[in-house]
Amino acid sequence: MALDKDTIAKRIAQELKNGFYVNLGIGIPTLVANHVPPGIAIEFQSENGVMGMGQFPFEGEEDADLINAGKQTITTMPGASFFDSAVSFSMIRGKHIDLTVLGAMEVPENGNIANWKIPGKMVKGMGGAMDLVASAENIIVAMMQVNKRGESKLLKRCSLPLTGIKCVKKIVTELGVYEIIPEGFLLVEYAPGVSIKTIKNATEGTLIVSDNLKEMSFS
Amino acid sequence: MALDKDTIAKRIAQELKNGFYVNLGIGIPTLVANHVPPGIAIEFQSENGVMGMGQFPFEGEEDADLINAGKQTITTMPGASFFDSAVSFSMIRGKHIDLTVLGAMEVPENGNIANWKIPGKMVKGMGGAMDLVASAENIIVAMMQVNKRGESKLLKRCSLPLTGIKCVKKIVTELGVYEIIPEGFLLVEYAPGVSIKTIKNATEGTLIVSDNLKEMSFS
Amino acid sequence: MINKEVRNVAAALEGVEDGMTLMLGGFGLCGIPENSIGALVEIGVKNLTCISNNAGVDDFGLGLLLQKKQIKKMIASYVGENAEFERQMLSGELEVELTPQGTLAERCRAAQAGIPAFYTPAGCGTEVAEGKETREFKGKMHVLETAYEADFSIVKAWKGDEAGNLIFKGTARNFNPAMCGAGKITIAEVEELVPAGSLDPNQIHIPGIFVNRIFQGAKFEKRIEQRTVRSK
Amino acid sequence: MINKEVRNVAAALEGVEDGMTLMLGGFGLCGIPENSIGALVEIGVKNLTCISNNAGVDDFGLGLLLQKKQIKKMIASYVGENAEFERQMLSGELEVELTPQGTLAERCRAAQAGIPAFYTPAGCGTEVAEGKETREFKGKMHVLETAYEADFSIVKAWKGDEAGNLIFKGTARNFNPAMCGAGKITIAEVEELVPAGSLDPNQIHIPGIFVNRIFQGAKFEKRIEQRTVRSK
């Protein structure tokens, strides 16, 4: 059965390693923070200027001066720090962030990514995404594999304006986990109960099934 | 009579205007701070990371963590701030400093300046001088016009490695005040009791005597 | 001490004219100079170019200037929260230049710091790099970005003193520090204005040399855009 | 919280080897990582390239490494206080690259910030610009300067916490912040190391992400170079 968004986040949380500084994008990526494996130390950065983000505040304790990049009220953990936007992107551009998780509208098989604009229709802007994908060495895309009109978002080629080129390393969707390899999308894990046929139908780009393919595990 | 170093500083202090942020170099320039005209507000920057420098501390109150760019112990005034070297040179490079006063080994008549190196003999380094002269729009050189061997330091051309080009606007020495104009050194003031002949003999470069020449005044 | 205090927002905004370029601090509605924005609406200056990370929401922040069609061109990184913005942009009424957020911050900081241009990898291979010089450093492509030019920088801080020294609070810091001293004249509105000497010189976020005019804002609404809470 | 504490200076310097490039904070003798410098003398690593604003005095700071001829090349802006330095340089034993102080700071900051290169007016028309690309922006010449590369950054702060967050004091801040995160590994020695959560997140000068190892220095001499006083 296809995963829900929270379970996608849970699977991505398995990629967290002790000592990682992590930037989570808006949407599914934000949910990753709820699934940090016990016993490892992680610090979450939000590019608007905080390292060491905590949970949402208790009701009545919201502070207008304390938000994340999704404009949500947040709290901080012990050891947190605030800094300005130039310093924040020094962390990102300077490769000090160990893992970046972000959403996408389209990912083609060469590892490009598009997530900020639909010409003539919708322009939200790239926010910090272009800086993140241009510099991060460890980028995971978290998204639904199929859009609302039933079309695959894992493509041969992007049709939308790009956010970055040849930067995506791994993709986690409701159907599977993919790595970008020279030949295309390498399926390394499938969601419990989802058939390879379903995955193939939902992948417009070249799909290669790994010799070590396994079912996602959430033990 | 030729001025002493402190009187050169006193003459330069007449150039201070209300609201000026001022960077003073090592040597004679440092003395300018002792002669701020009453009734005007000035803040002194030291490029090692302090704005709003005050006087030297009282004996016993020296703080090893509070020095100026000449490595001297200092104090701060109300409204002072500390910052790092990158920010300090943002002030300088970004043209936020209103007046720069520094020493020189040689000044040629085109407004170049040399003050950091004698090849094969002495290399102190340029410190912050190259950044200062490259960006400051208001630079006064404070120096003795004649070196220890009796040679003029106001030259036709520099013989020493340059610190900056076409940047000096005004020079104050023990003998006079000079402005750099296309034709050479324009003598605008002479030290009390010093003859034009003495000044001419101490100026290797082209000397032009201003139509409005006057004696320096220290009333 | 060089005193930067002006008596109110009107005095602070003196000299702001039609057609000027303004840099405005804030991220979303957090840390925006709301007193100054309100006064700009009242003054009614037009044909502004605004450099700001976001464009506010329909009825707060820069959205107020958009409603009155005072903005000719917007330079921002993310504008997803503003329906009127999207309408004006898609209809062609509003000129829009979208720029990566880190590049936006660094171009402001470059203006403050007297760096005319720098190289960044952000945007390489995308339409952001179109028409710009690109260059390889250590095997990776970078794009040349230039310092922004602005007539005024308008920022919001938590505390400030008469000397113009500023301290920001939490994530309301964001773009405000990098914009100080980046425009020809920098205006800072603060929640609390204190006498010089009241702030620890060691804990100043922005030295007063980067600020030309400072005033205590009459009122701060500090609206929250996404109120998210957890249960006890 | 990611814990950066190491037990002592020896643990902090692990991996420093002959021939490496080190970036060291401090201005004159103010804010120098004196515990680390002392340990480098003891370890006896050789052929070092050191990037530091100054080279210490004959018997303190980097002067100690110069005495033992552990430094092959020095990159600095001002070295006027060190007779042994001048001797080694003029005799050709020591390779020296002098660079304008603001350029030095900005090249460190560029390394920290992932900016491979930037333009600055400093040094144009002088020997500093020889062999470097120059370019005109707004009618003025600028020189292209690149980010420094270093194996280790070694800095000194006043207070730090386990998470690596740093606070500096007075003018002992100087080059230390810009060097954090500029080398591959950053070591911070602090006068006081406190538990995470003890420092106000609003008042951190350098966030811990830029620091890899932190320890409390055993002893700080904090020598004063020019003791200047006035009479009461």
pLDDT digits (tens, 9 = 90+) for C108-129: 999 999 999 999 999 999 999 9
- How is residue D139 annotated by DSSP? T
Average pLDDT of span D88-104? 94
Asked which of B156-170, C84-98, C201-215, D190-204 is least confident by mean pLDDT, the reply is C84-98
Q: How far apart are the first and last CA of chain C?
A: 49
Answer whether D142 touches C (CB < 8 Å): yes
User: What is the pLDDT, as a whole number, of residue A98?
Assistant: 97
**DSSP β-bridge partners for residue B148:** none
Query: Contact D119/C117, CB-based, under 8 Å?
Result: yes
In this model, does residue B210 exceed pLDDT 90? yes
Give the pairing type, strands A184-190 and A176-181. antiparallel
Binned at pLDDT 50, 70 and 90, residue B120 comes out as: confident
The pLDDT tens digits of the residues spanning A53-68 come to 999 999 999 999 999 9
Backbone angles phi, psi at A137, to 5 degrees: -95, -5
- pLDDT score for A109: 97
Torsion sign across C-alpha atoms C13, C74, C122, A68: positive
Give the residue from C112, C135, C173, C202 with the most D CB atoms within 10 Å of its CB, the best one to mutate. Answer: C202
Residues of chain B with pLDDT > 70, as a percent, come to 100
Q: Which of B82, B135, B162 sits opposite D126 (nearest CB)?
A: B162
Query: What gap in Å lies between CA D228 and CA C67, rounded to an integer?
Result: 61
Chain A closest-CA separation from residue C158 CA (Å): 10
C-alpha to C-alpha distance for B32 and B43, rounded to whole angstroms: 12
Residues 84-143 of A with CB under 8 A from C: 84-86, 88-89, 92-93, 112, 116-117, 120-131, 134-135
Q: Which residues contact A106 (CB under 8 A, 6 or more apart)?
A: A113, A114, A115, A153, A155, A158, A159, A160
Helix (H) or strand (E) holding A85: helix A85-93
- Name the burial class of residue A39, with classes exposed (0-12), middle (13-18) and buried (19+) by CB atoms within 10 angstroms of its CB: exposed
Task: Report d(CA D23, CA D179) in Å as an integer.
Answer: 7
Nearest partner of D13 among D225, D226, D219, D215, judged by Cα:
D215
Strand, coil or helix: D10: helix
Question: Against a cut of 0.95, is the pTM above it?
Answer: yes
DSSP element (H, E) containing D192: strand D185-194
- C165-190: average pLDDT: 98
Tokens of A112: 């490009």
Taking CB atoms and an 8 Å cutoff, what residues of chain C touch A163? 126
Q: Please check whether residue D225 is in contact with residue D57, taking contact to mean a CB–CB distance below 8 angstroms.
A: yes
The partner residues of D137 in beta bridges, in order of sequence, read D140
Q: Percentage of residues in chain A with pLDDT exceeding 70?
A: 100
How confident is the model at residue D83, as a pLDDT?
86
Q: Which contiguous run of DSSP H or E holds residue A197?
A: helix A196-201
* Greatest pairwise CA separation for chain B in angstroms: 53
Cα angle B134, D175, B22 (rounded to 5 degrees) comes to 45
- Alpha helix ranges (H) inside chain B: 5-13, 28-31, 85-93, 129-135, 196-201
Q: Is the dihedral of CA B67, B69, B72, B78 positive or negative?
A: negative
CA distances in angstroms from A53 to C26, D146, D162, listed in the order given: 19, 33, 17
Q: Which residues contact C181 (CB under 8 A, 6 or more apart)?
A: B90, B91, B94, B96, C111, C112, C153, C209, C210, C211
**Rounded Cα–Cα distance for residues A3 and A194 (Å):** 9
Q: Strand pairing of C152-161 and C185-194? A: parallel
> C197: burial class by Cβ within 10 Å (0-12, 13-18, 19+)?
middle
| Contact status of B46 with chain D (Cβ, < 8 Å) | yes
Is pLDDT above 80 for A83? yes
The answer, yes or no, to whether residue A41 has pLDDT greater than 90, is yes
**Is C73 buried (19+), middle (13-18) or exposed (0-12) by CB count in 10 A?**
middle
pLDDT computed for residue A9 by the predictor: 97
pLDDT at B219: 75
Give the per-residue pLDDT at A1.
Answer: 81
Which residues does C165 contact at the CB level (< 8 Å), separation at least 6? B79, B81, C196, C199, C204, C206, C207, C208, C211
B15-20: long-range contacts, CB 8 A cutoff, minimum separation 24: B15/B99, B15/B140, B15/B170, B16/B40, B16/B42, B16/B99, B17/B98, B18/B42, B19/B98, B19/C2, B20/B98, B20/B99
- What is the pLDDT, as a whole number, of residue B1? 81
**Bridge partners of residue A133, in order along the sequence:** none
State residue D80's pLDDT score: 81
- C-alpha distance from residue C197 to each of B76, C8, C200, C201 (Å): 10, 22, 7, 8
| pLDDT tens column, D57-80 | 999 999 999 999 999 999 999 998
Write out the E strands in D90-184: 95-98, 117-120, 134-137, 140-146, 152-161, 166-167
In A48-173, DSSP assigns E strands to: 50-53, 76-82, 99-102, 107-108, 117-118, 122-123, 139-142, 154-155, 170-172
Is residue A219 scored above 80 in pLDDT? no
Distance, in Å, from the CA atom of B172 to the CA atom of B175, rounded to the nearest integer, reads 8
**pLDDT at residue D215, as a whole number:** 98
Q: How far is D114 from chain C (nearest CA, A)?
A: 7
B72 vs C37: CA distance, rounded Å? 46
The per-residue pLDDT for range B8-36, each reduced to its tens digit, is 999 999 999 999 999 999 999 999 999 99
Q: Cβ D113–A94 below 8 Å, yes or no?
A: yes
Contacts of C113 in chain B (CB under 8 A): 86, 89-90, 93-94
Cβ–Cβ < 8 Å for C20, C185: no
Mean pLDDT of C166-178: 98
What is the structure's pLDDT at A46?
A: 97
Kindly indicate the confidence band of residue D82, based on its pLDDT and cuts at 50, 70 and 90.
confident
Q: Judge: D114–A93 Cβ closer than 8 Å, yes or no.
A: yes
Q: Quick one: pLDDT at residue A156?
A: 97
pLDDT at res. B194:
97
Q: Please tell me which of the candidates B43, B81, B83 has its beta carbon nearest to residue C2.
A: B43
C1 contacts in chain B (CB < 8 Å): 41, 43, 52, 77-79
Across chain B, where does the E strand assignment appear? 20-24, 42-46, 50-53, 76-82, 99-102, 107-108, 117-118, 122-123, 139-142, 154-155, 170-172, 176-181, 184-190, 207-215
Q: Are C162 and C7 in contact (CB under 8 A)?
A: no
Longest dimension (CA), chain A: 53
